[in-house]
Structure 1
């Protein structure tokens, strides 16, 4: 099964750490990062999709962050 996650965070080093942690756990970048202004918080936000091949079948209760 191919698992998919969309990582998001304010535009701080926390976003880079979140993506780096996912990469260190075997996730791979999927597409280009996105960057946009969140009018609710007044901050810039980043997003990056990642994918990972894992054994088993999809189940809605899977905790993707634990893969």
Structure 2
């Protein structure tokens, strides 16, 4: 039996935001909690800045 993610978080999450240090910290925090990257990131440009999306999954989900 797998333990659930902490704080009632879902087993699958998509983190999004500008490609900056704050976004990298959010992904790093999810990895430190125990989440694993799901595939590679998606990247787009909104006309002003680069926006990134990264899916993470809880192990065993």
- Which band: TM-score by shorter chain? 0.7 to 0.9
Q: Which has the larger radius of gyration?
A: 1
Tell me whether 22-31 or 2-11 shows the greater mean CA deviation: 2-11
Matched, 1:38 2:46: yes
Q: How many residues align?
A: 52
Structure 1 gap ranges (5+)? 55-67
Q: Structure 2 stretches of 5 or more lacking a match?
A: 5-9
> TM-score if structure 2 supplies the norm length?
0.73
TM-score normalised by the chain length of structure 1:
0.67
Task: Give every structure 1 segment of 4 or more consecutive aligned residues whose post-TM-superposition deviation is greater than 6 Å.
Answer: none
Q: Tell me what 1:11 maps to.
A: 19
User: RMSD of aligned C-alpha atoms?
Assistant: 2.0
Q: Distance in 2 between matches of 1:4 and 1:38?
A: 25
